[in-house]
Structures are given as structure tokens and as C-alpha cells.
Structure 1
């Protein structure tokens, strides 16, 4: 395949017009290299441009090699791969590198270099490298993959890449698609994290989960386990918060000044009211504005330090769209592999035997990510107007399987009918839906209402979250779902004629499960706060995780997750039997979906 060069008037190596252009390009290309996976598609394209320029205007000669031909650039990249493999993986020859980096070795050649340089010279380089995610393969388990959003937690903070000793970058999504086709993968289970999960913590936790699933043969060549990390950060003490403050002093001063002006009126009113009770001397009136201002400043500073709204913004605007793009691009490449004669716009009807079923597992704010991803994909591939046999399709080659939500940070309205339920049609496309929740999740109950008080359109939406619903043990578990505020509980949903969305869920009340609870008291108005207070110390000491303990490898819910991954459309009897096996102490209560239970 020959490709015409658009830069025939300028021979290699390239040279910059001036020092300013050189510095701008060097900063841009250097940023791409630092924030992308080595030998991935966009990293390689940035290196192609670097190798094409001479080292001048302060450029590092080891980076800007000034190669004289496209073939020399391609050869240099393959040699860099060999050196990289020898340094990190103890591979001794290029043949072994080809086995571990097949996508790079197949695609990086003279034609690839020419196309890359064409895009650079035609001012289309941004489009050429525009990928909102990267894909990694697990070096220890060939059936485990990692998808990472390329967005960073802050404009001033560089991304933290997965550890090289555990995860190797794929060249692009085509490499994953070829694996799916070659192995005839029938199921892909994707799991994502929630609020306050920095990259390193997720990489380590996901690797531990993958090892546990591999030891029980839950994953195989036909069933891939994929982790998805969207940009999230550690509350209070993290580099992103500090750099934001230091680099935006002017904006910070504007905020502090505005807050002081706004606090003047309530503080003066407070001073006048106080003066009616205990007369004040005029010289003490200034203390009230200062006290009110300081308290407001501390409150707003605390809300920002917990990074809840920062994470929520990134979940909605980066996490969900980037995950939707991953599935869209994967489906498109699979279509090209499965039906090469069909055009991209032409619809194909592939047999179910070669389609891949996708299970989605979302924890906490990750539940918001997967639900919004379903909304995006549902808008793209059709809503309620689909035929019955097509309603679960996520494109030409992917089908939607189970949706598993663990302590989802989603308004309770998700299981209520109405015009404001913005994901109704998307949720109904799922094969089965499982909801793991706990009334003792103090993180979700209290932090969510404080952080969402000013952002949700109603007080109920800010204060009642789907992950806090529970079942009463005193009554038959199948009677009704409940949710509590602080002391008192109310019904989570009222029966209406439009009740089918609520009835499509399988509810798992994990309030008393090991890993998420340390207090054995039953819930009532007199014990509610005692339970919350009693769980705080074990939570702070790391003995339990009231919000995220569902995925600890010893938890019954993690064992139940393996059952769901291995079984398509299990019946109520099979679900109850499995819960008895993995939860012999009856810590989990089940309310099955209506079609499973009694009419």
C-alpha cells in the first residue's frame, strides 16, 4: 500500500521555523509522551514527529533524532521497543517483543510514519491522536484487560499510568477486537470504580480481583474481565487540589472576596439580633462578619477538599462519554472483522453465536458512569422503538447482558416512573439488573446529601440515594423496599400502575454483610444513629468498608459476582441456592425481580 506524501517540498529531517514554534511543539509532544502509554497509538505518533525533527532550539538530541527517512523512523521505533522490553521485561530479542506487542509490530511501518507526518503537516494531528481511552492487557492473565480514560484529574496534574510490571499497553482497540474475534469471546464483564478512587488504588485492587477470579476459573478465553478507570482523586490530601490553588491565586481571591461580601448581610442581621438580647458595644460588631465569613470559608473549603463534586463532574463528563466511545469503537472494529464486506454505515445482522455479551458492574459513582453510558449508547442505537430481538443490542456485534450496581450513588428516582427518569429506556435494555445496597452506608447517606444539596433539582433527589435502600427483616423480604433518612424510614417506592421499572431489579440488601458492617443491632429509630456511630471507628481503621466492601475478595457479594459472571439468566431458585452457599449466615436479603417471584 503506497501513501502519497503531502510534505514533498520539505525533506526529512524537518526543521522548525523559529525558536517559539519549536518550544510550543516540544511542550505539546512532551506532554503527550508523558501522559500516554508507551508504544500505544498516540504515543507512537508523537514519537514519529519527534524523530522527524532535528535537535535545535534547545531540543534534546536523544529525543529529536532528525531521521532522514520514514523507514529510518520506523526502524528507530522498533529498536526503542526492543530496548524497552529488555529493560522492563527481560526479553532478549525483537521476536519476543513482537509476541507481547503484536499491534505495534504489525502497524508501525513506513506507511504508518508517512500517514502520521501527513497529519502533522496538514494540521490534523489532534484528530489523528484523539483517543479518549487506552487499553492495557494483564501480563499475568491473558483474559484480563484494563481500559483507562485519558482525562487527568486536573489540568495541572499528569496522569498516573498503570504499573508496567503488571499491565502492558495495547497499541489500539483493534488489538483487543482481534483477540475477541480470534478467541470467539462470548462474554465481556466490565467493572468500574466509584468516588475517591485514585488510579493507583484502583489498579492494585483490580489486579487483586483479577487474581481471585482467575483462581476460581471464573474468567477464561471466552469470558474477559475488563476494568475501567475514569479520573478520580483522593479527598483532602492530593496534588491536584494543591496545584489548583497555587496556579489560580487570582480566581481564589475573587472567590474569597465574593464570599466575604455575601456573608456581610447575614452576619449584620445576626449582630442586630444578638444586640436585642445582649447589647453590644459598637466596637464588637466587626466580630460577627469575621466569624460568619470564617465559618463559611471553612465549610466551602471542606466541601471542595472532599472532591465529591469534582469526581461527580468527571464521572458525568469524562467517565461516561469515554466508556461509551470505547464500546462504540470496539463494536465498529468487530464489525469490520466479522463482516469485512459491509460498509461502516451498512447495518449487518450477525448471528448470536458470534456476538459478544457485555455485563456492566458499577460501584458507587461508577454506577452513575455505567448508567449514563447506557443512556448514551441507547440514544445512539435506538430507544423504545426497537424490535424485541434487537432491544438488547449495543451495536452490530455487542449485546447488553447484566447490569450490576453496588451501592450506586444515583438518585432514588432511578426506580421510579416519570418523565424525569432520564435512563428509563436504557435500563430496560438490560438482560438482568442486580442492586446491592446497605442502609448502613454512611458515606453515601451523609456525604451525598451535603454535596448534592445545591446541585440536584429536588431535596429528595439530593438526600435519597439508590444505594441506601434496604429490606426489613421483621417482614417478608419480598414485601417492600425501605429507605431511611437519619432516624425514621419510609417506603422507597409507592405502587403505581407504572411499576415495571421497579420490578425489573433484583435487590440484594447487604446491610449486615461482613465487610460493610460491624454492628449487629437491628435497625429501628432508637438504634439508627448508634449503628452509624458504631461503624465509624472500624471504617476509619480499615476493618470494614461501609461503602466499598462489596468487592473485597472475602465478601459474599464478591463470590456472588462470580456466580453472576458464570451463569446467564439464572432463575430465582438458582440465585437463592447460590446465596445460601456463599452467604451461610443469611447476611444478605433478596427481593427478586417480579418475573422471578410470585405474581
Structure 2
């Protein structure tokens, strides 16, 4: 059994790749008993690297990128607030094997490296990608042996009484189905009593059989592993990475406390020698212990072996618990100096931006990770008991800040974007700069499996409350593209109503506004409208080239519904297409070229980056072309004037130069806005061609298109009245 919490591997890469990629896998077992069981042995490697070494490699890489960016931008134009080193972590969903996870992560890594070849150098060089695997259990079994890995353990794990009832129930079913037994059951009192007894056992058998099926589905087991193994291990990985990066910064200043370290080493050596007078090499080991402890108040004993570890253990206890006044003063002064230097280092540099891609249950896992990592005692996150007036910091740990959250078919209740106590997603949403939701009305894995198994575990009073965010749909079924584009253009930041979003299943069709009204009758006006932070992409009718056909576009997530067709018939056909026709209603997002472009560009470059990447195609169309040409002419004229006059030192000329410089800034800003508006219109057109509906968050338009301050815009959006 692996003794480390997680293992870290480098994803396959070419020398030309700009974006390094890594694969982090939790070593938690499939079953709680440990790795000695067949279903827990998936993917073990006898030659896997030590995770500390690879973790240190990632930390060094990120730290070097921070240093390079700081130096290059400081030399060019100062350290700009918009320039960040970015770490993007993607997390798989329910029922994924290790091989499938690696394949998906490698595809994302390859895709983003192809994309960065088209971009300016700094937009590729500032990225690092990590795929995280938690211990999910494939439906077919960890090793592909359903009978051995799933069926036998499901039966042997049954408690004695249910197992006995299950076996008796099988006999009862056989006896009830045998035609020879029918005359006996219905021609005597004893036979009737026997029939009732067998029917009772058959009913108990069916109940237990249902529980066995739920176990075989793996959903509840995966939910437990995600919550109790996947979340803590990812939290620990981020904490250890934070610690390793901080150590990188502190190492720079170690030379400045060389004399203090030497004094501590001398005193510590004397004290350890009193305990081990005959030991050799005490001074060297004490020097290593002192250096480790002064860096982050811990000593890595794992790098010592044999007698050296005994010496290091004694030295570590002494340096931590020693009360000698001189020793304590030198120790605490050294640590205080190094920590102060580390804080100052990150105070004057942009933190590393941390973004997430969460698919299915991976989306739920992300939100739990953020809730744990968040500083709950930060005054900006406390607010009032009214649950509003909160704008918490996006800072995580000592070196990270949250960037973007991309949820793809998330297995999260729809109530989490409504105003109310059940909104455990709210704390995570407020901390991210950008949030995106990809959903499909026909996602059967969420619509049937998740909603069914959560029926008796999720505390909902209404059927609609049990549906998941991944099934959310946009109301306007006749219109594709960015359906609220005209509204956000007319009155930014124009909020949209919950009436635009709905869930639709068989005989149920309700907007989130109706669900909100039924669920929360308490003063909704004082609640934050966290749903407005999302940009929604309804991919129900998404049509594109995929793995099945590169010559003709087709629906990747659903099938077309006939006009006369009842919903029940449609969903039965969709179920058959999902089982026999290869229609992936839950993961088809990853097959289409356009959807991949949206998901990965939004995660790695954000809305502004996606829009800027479309500018060239957008400007090839006649939209706003004349106005752009006019702006370009004015900018050129202003620049010529500025260059002509800047040599003149007269005060009145200098004043005019300042005016021209300010005018030039405004003209370039206006040009940028117009170009991004054109690109946004082009994106809407492309979404329309692919039959994707999008509701653009008013925050995205105000911040990424108009360039307004994000904090001010977010406050307005969260606390303004209802949109229409």
C-alpha cells in the first residue's frame, strides 16, 4: 500500500510544449479496508516517483515563472495587476477509471498547448496544468472484472440478516414462478398461507435487490470517496504546494541570516551531544535541522535514516521546545525575519491564480475544497447574520488567489444558486473572479441516476429541488446564441431574472423563479443574487463535429425531438440512444470541437482571453468596421501630434501633451471596447450556429468588455433588484 497521500506524475509532453502538465492521483483506496482488495489495486506502479520530489519540481516551476514575469514586466512597464502566473486544476466526475482520467487530462493538456501556439508568448508561459484524480470506482469494476470486483463484494458485504432474506427471497421467487406450484397455493388454506409467506419474502428480496443495485451503481460509494478522500487529499496537495512555494521565496534570504543559523547550529550541537556523546556527524545534521526549522517551523525527518534520524529527531525536539533565553531570541528573530521577507515578497507581486474545471461530481468536490481552504475569519467574509453584504477575498493560503471556476454537468443541487440556507455553493462563488456553467436538459446521468438515488438522501420537500445544476436549461427555446446580449448592451450591468432558467422533466416544467418562490418565502429581497455570477451555457441541442463524424455535424448530447412527440416517448428514445446508440448525454461536451474551445479557453484564459482570441475573425465581418476605421484614424492622428510636440519644453505645450496622452488612453480604451463588442457578437453568432444558448453574466460584460472595476460591479449585481 502506498504510504503517501497522493502520487504525482508528469503528463506526456513534447519539448515544444509551453504549458507543463502534471497528473496528481489520490492514493486513497477504493474500499476502506485498504489496497489488499482486488478493486483497490487499480493502476499501481512499482516505479512511481516520490511525490515530494515532483511537488518540489512544480513549486520551483511556479516560483521561477513568478520571478521571470516580475522581472520582465518590471523592466518593460511595471508589474501590471492583470498579469498572473496561473495554475489550472481539472477534476473528473463520477465513475471514472484511472485510465479514462489520464486520457481526459492528456487531451486537455494537448489541446491547450496547441492553443497557446497561436497566442503571444506570455499567455502560454504563465500557465501550469494539473489533472487531479480522486478514487472513483468505474461501474465495470476497477480492473474491468464486474463479477469479481463488484458483484461478489456487493453480496459478501451484506449483513447476515439481509443476506439470508436475499437467498430465501430467491427461492421464493423461483417457487412462485413454477407452474407446478400454482394448484397447491390456491386450493387450500395452508397453500394460501404459504403463498402469502413467499410473496412477503419476494418483496423483501426485491427491496434488498434494489439496495444491491444502488451499491453496484457506485454512486453513493463515489460520493463518500469524493467527500472523505478526494476533498481532503486535494486540500492537502494545495497546502503542500503553497508551503513549497513559500520555501522557495524564503531560500533566497537564507544567506542573509547565515550568522544566526551558525549560532543556532553551535548551541544545538552542544545540546544534542549531551544526549548522544558518541555519535558522529551531529554538527552537519543540526545545521540541516536548523535550516529546515527556520524556513517553515518543521523538520523533514523522512530524509534522515538510521542513526541520523535519531539525531535529527532529538535536534528537532530541542529546537522546538528549548526555553534558553539566548537560543529562543536567535531562533525567533531568524524565523520572524524570514517570514517577514516572505510576506513582503508576495505583497509586491501578484499571487498565483488558481482556477478549476470540475466535471460532474468533480464540481461538487471543487466547491467543498474551496470552502475548506477559505479564510472563514476574514472580516470581509463574515458579513452579517442576514447572509448578505459579503465580498470575501479571493486569496487562498499565502501564495494563491482564486481565478475561474468552470462547472461542466455539475452534480450539485439547483438550490445552490438560489437564495437560501441550502446554498452551500455561495461561499465558493463569491471568491472566484469568473464562474461558468455548462449544462444539458437531457443529461440522463443526472436526470435519472443522480435525482433517483438522491430521492431518499437529499432533504428536499419538492421534486424539482432534487434536480441538478447540470440539467438546468434556458427558457428561450426559439433562440440560440447569447440570448441576453441586447439587454446587457443597453443597460450594463443589466441583471437577468430567474425566470430565464428552468428545469424540465416529463410532467414537470418549472422556472427557478417559481422554485425560489415555493422554497423560500422569507424576505428574498435581502438575499444576494448569486445566480447572476454565472455565465450559463445550455448545450442541450449542441451540434458539432465529433468523434463519430468529422464530415457532418450532429447532436452530441441529445437527440432531436419530434414536434408531436410526448416527453415520455422522447426520453425513452434518448435512454435507448444513450445505451445502444453511443450517445454520451453526460460527457459529450468533451467530444465537440467548439465546446472544447469554450470550456478550455474560459478556464485557462477567461472570458476576456476568449473574446480577444476571436477578435481577428470578428473583424473580418463588416460589424462596426467603419467605426473601428474611424477610431484607428483618430488614434494615429493623436499619436502623430503627441510625437511632434513632446520635444517642446514649454509649459503650455506640456499641458497640451498631458491632454493628448489622456485622450490617447481614452481612444485606445474605446477601440478595445469596440473590438471586444464585435468579438462578442461573433461569439454569439458561433453559438447560434452550434445551437448553444448562453446567458452572459452582466458582470462579465461590465468587467471584460467595458473594463469596469470588478468589485464595484459585483456589489451592484449581487445586491440590486430583480432583473426583468
Output the CA distance in 2 between the equivalents of 1:388 and 1:501. 11
CA offset digits 1:453-495 (Å, max 9, x no partner): 2221225487211111101234774451011232331012448
Compute the displacement of 1:404 (Å).
0.5
CA offset digits 1:486-526 (Å, max 9, x no partner): 233101244842242111111111111136434223799x5
Q: Which residue of 1 aligns with 2:104?
A: 205
TM-score for both structures, normalised by structure 2: 0.57
CA offset digits 1:6-56 (Å, max 9, x no partner): xxxxxxxxxxxxxxxxxxxxxxxxx33xxxxxxxxxxxxxxxxxxxxxxxx
Q: Which residue of 2 aligns with 1:139?
A: 12
CA offset digits 1:438-464 (Å, max 9, x no partner): 111011011012211222122548721
Q: Which residue of 2 aligns with 1:227?
A: 131
Normalized per residue, which structure has more helix? 2
Q: Which residue of 1 aligns with 2:198?
A: 287
Q: Which residue of 2 aligns with 1:451?
A: 453
CA offset digits 1:291-334 (Å, max 9, x no partner): 21232232111111110101111111111111111111111211
Compute the displacement of 1:541 (Å).
4.2
Q: Which residue of 2 aligns with 1:36?
A: none
1:153 to 30, 43, 60: 30
Equivalent residues in 2 for 1:386-425 (5 A)?
A: 391-425=393-427
Output the CA distance in 1 between the equivalents of 2:93 and 2:573. 24
Q: Which residue of 1 aligns with 2:372?
A: 376
Compute the displacement of 1:568 (Å).
4.0
Contact 1:469–1:492 at 8 Å: present in 2 too? no
CA offset digits 1:75-112 (Å, max 9, x no partner): xxxxxxxxxxxxxxxxxxxxxxxxxxxxxxxxxxxxxx
2:467 matched to 1:464? yes
> Once structures 1 and 2 are overlaid, which stretch shifts more, 340-349 or 373-382?
340-349
Q: Which residue of 1 aligns with 2:244?
A: 333
Q: Which residue of 2 aligns with 1:590?
A: 694
Q: Which residue of 2 aligns with 1:252?
A: 158
Equivalent residues in 2 for 1:19-418 (5 A)?
A: 31-32=1-2, 131-141=4-14, 143-154=20-31, 155=34, 156=37, 157-161=39-43, 171-184=53-66, 186-217=85-116, 220-238=124-142, 242-243=148-149, 246=152, 251-254=157-160, 256-257=162-163, 281-340=192-251, 344=296, 348=343, 350-351=346-347, 353-379=349-375, 382=378, 384-385=381-382, 391-418=393-420
Output the CA distance in 2 between the equivalents of 1:527 and 1:427. 37
Compute the displacement of 1:283 (Å).
3.3
Q: Which residue of 1 aligns with 2:631?
A: none
The 1:159/1:176 distance shift into structure 2, 3 A limit, reads farther
> Once structures 1 and 2 are overlaid, which stretch shifts more, 217-226 or 409-418?
217-226
Greater relative contact order (CA < 8 Å, ≥ 6 in sequence)? 2
Contact 1:405–1:434 at 8 Å: present in 2 too? yes
Output the CA distance in 2 between the equivalents of 1:543 and 1:343. 55
Contact 1:137–1:170 at 8 Å: present in 2 too? no
Q: Which residue of 2 aligns with 1:431?
A: 433
CA RMSD, aligned part only? 3.8
CA offset digits 1:200-245 (Å, max 9, x no partner): 1111222123222222227833211211100111115455974577
The 1:355/1:447 distance shift into structure 2, 3 A limit, reads same
Equivalent residues in 2 for 1:498-513 (5 A)?
A: 498-513=527-542
- What are structure 2's unaligned runs of at least 5 residues? 67-83, 118-122, 174-184, 254-293, 298-338, 384-388, 485-496, 518-523, 544-554, 612-675, 703-722
Count of residue correspondences: 459
Output the CA distance in 2 between the equivalents of 1:416 and 1:257. 43
Compute the displacement of 1:388 (Å).
9.3
Rg: which structure is higher? 2
Q: Which residue of 2 aligns with 1:80?
A: none
Compute the displacement of 1:337 (Å).
1.5
Equivalent residues in 2 for 1:413-562 (5 A)?
A: 413-460=415-462, 463-474=466-477, 477-478=483-484, 480-493=500-513, 494=516, 496-497=524-525, 498-514=527-543, 516-521=556-561, 527-541=566-580, 543-552=582-591, 554-562=592-600
Contact 1:140–1:166 at 8 Å: present in 2 too? no
